[in-house]
Structure 1
């Protein structure tokens, strides 16, 4: 029976050093470390994310896929700037760059714009991954498509997107929505073009990908005030200008829940907290195992984990 750890002692020490640096980074900026429950009566309604559930004497509970909802409840209660380092769980996420149980850094800055948050995230990641080029690239979603594929994602038809995929030798048979074609081209062509020695920030995704971020009209198209940060093709984090309209958020969560394969209850306490007055803020979730992978310039995510999912 294989009982040995999948991470080396060097990787374990590197993780401990990374966490010390992160805590010092936030302490210097007056950001409070918090802890929230891993089990909740409500799960993540995002149809692209599947939650693990646990039977308890008090009923079904869901392991959090992110500490987002309770942290936003703390913001509404007047916590100010906060961060959390924690384990999170997502079903059906396993592979060279995925593990169903992984470590996340999530933090929120009250009064920050998402542009200010991008700048701070760049500083944080340059501390965490010392070999990075100091100048990150910032592209809008539209700029990325125009530069790399010569297509405007806000105007391209399904037929044009399918033709582009064929030109890029993406082998796919079947019908897809416009957004699904955009996702396919983004993951197979655009992400693959990102430099491996510097950060790439992609912002202003189509409003259909807003999730819980604010949206705004830009050049005649509605875009989300959110961004993702990459090193090479590897996504490290996803940040928002947080939506503070409780009615709008409730509509999003209810609509998402209807598309979920699981019967996931909407987090009504989160909605009530936002309605009570969540402050203007920007927040981000960062994958710490992936950051550690980049820090050590390693190949396999399992080599960053004390025990991989298969032998945990």
Structure 2
């Protein structure tokens, strides 16, 4: 395929996404990319920019996701919204990770994660992807592929499991070992599934998703074993967001990573809680790469 045809194919792909949302009255938005506060996530790093150096030498941060800025809109009555934007992350490495990439993020009011998963399947159908869809809970995936009761196996027992597979046990927290085991023991099996949603993660991997009992209501979508999307049943209250942010800030300190401040601007914007909604971030290049394999 020549350059012109490749560009037209990509342009048509983005147009189809926009048409899908337009038909469902989901409004496209554009939020700031240069922020006052870096991301708090322990394993995602913001790229720092020095701005106004001839005036006040102030630090700004390129957004790693439009999530929090979009949630400000949701809290102020935006209704269903989506955004297609370039995001930026520091200290990325690997064949699927880049410092700059295109993200689709969208939110549907009144949805839970299962309704959102079904909505994503409809989006993929509109993009010409008609593959068989599988859904496995995180616990079910571990039972089926490794016979591990992941929700009821403690840190020390998981280290024993890792050792039996010749894997590292050098982890500070159980959630990191769970993720490591998933990457090495489960993800290779997902290559045989064209479209697979993994949902209901252990609560220690809750990120910014609601929790219930032993699980966090979040999901990830894999295409042929490649992670494409990450979605949540979104938190609503400022107090809960503050707790999650503080947990991540504390983890950054333990890991001796660059310290970050609490995003008080975001918290103050949630004087009115978010409406019940589910949201998802989809990596456009990853999605396109899997479509182009067909």
**TM-score, scaled relative to structure 2:** 0.91
Instruction: Report the more deviating stretch, 99-108 or 187-196.
Output: 187-196
Q: 2:232 — aligned with what?
A: 240
What CA distance in whole angstroms lies between the structure 1 residues aligned with 2:3 and 2:183?
A: 31
What CA distance in whole angstroms lies between the structure 1 residues aligned with 2:245 and 2:141?
A: 29
Q: Is the contact between residue 205 and residue 226 of structure 1 (CA under 8 Å) also seen in structure 2? A: yes
What CA distance in whole angstroms lies between the structure 2 residues aligned with 1:159 and 1:232?
A: 32
What CA distance in whole angstroms lies between the structure 2 residues aligned with 1:283 and 1:131?
A: 21
Q: Is the contact between residue 39 and residue 64 of structure 2 (CA under 8 Å) also seen in structure 1? A: yes
**What aligned pairs does 1:1-312 form with structure 2 within 5 A after superposition?**
8-57=3-52, 59-128=58-127, 130-133=128-131, 135-170=132-167, 172=168, 174=170, 177-196=173-192, 198-217=194-213, 222-260=214-252, 261-297=257-293
Q: 1:301 — aligned with what?
A: none
What CA distance in whole angstroms lies between the structure 1 residues aligned with 2:182 and 2:227?
A: 12
Unaligned stretches of 5+ residues in structure 2: none
What CA distance in whole angstroms lies between the structure 1 residues aligned with 2:96 and 2:233?
A: 27
What CA distance in whole angstroms lies between the structure 1 residues aligned with 2:98 and 2:291?
A: 18
Unaligned stretches of 5+ residues in structure 1: 1-6, 299-312
What CA distance in whole angstroms lies between the structure 2 residues aligned with 1:262 and 1:175?
A: 19
Cα offsets for 1:4-34 (capped at 9, x unmatched) = xxx9444322211110000000000000000
In structure 2, relative to structure 1, the CA distance for the partners of 1:131 and 1:35 (3 Å cut) is closer
> How many residue pairs were aligned?
285
SS in 2 for 1:119: helix
SS in 1 for 2:272: helix
What CA distance in whole angstroms lies between the structure 2 residues aligned with 1:29 and 1:243?
A: 24
**TM-score, scaled relative to structure 1:** 0.86
Higher relative contact order (CA 8 A, sep 6+): 1
SS in 1 for 2:97: coil
RMSD: 1.9
In structure 2, relative to structure 1, the CA distance for the partners of 1:11 and 1:94 (3 Å cut) is farther
Cα offsets for 1:203-234 (capped at 9, x unmatched) = 110111111111111xxxx2101111111221
In structure 2, relative to structure 1, the CA distance for the partners of 1:173 and 1:150 (3 Å cut) is closer
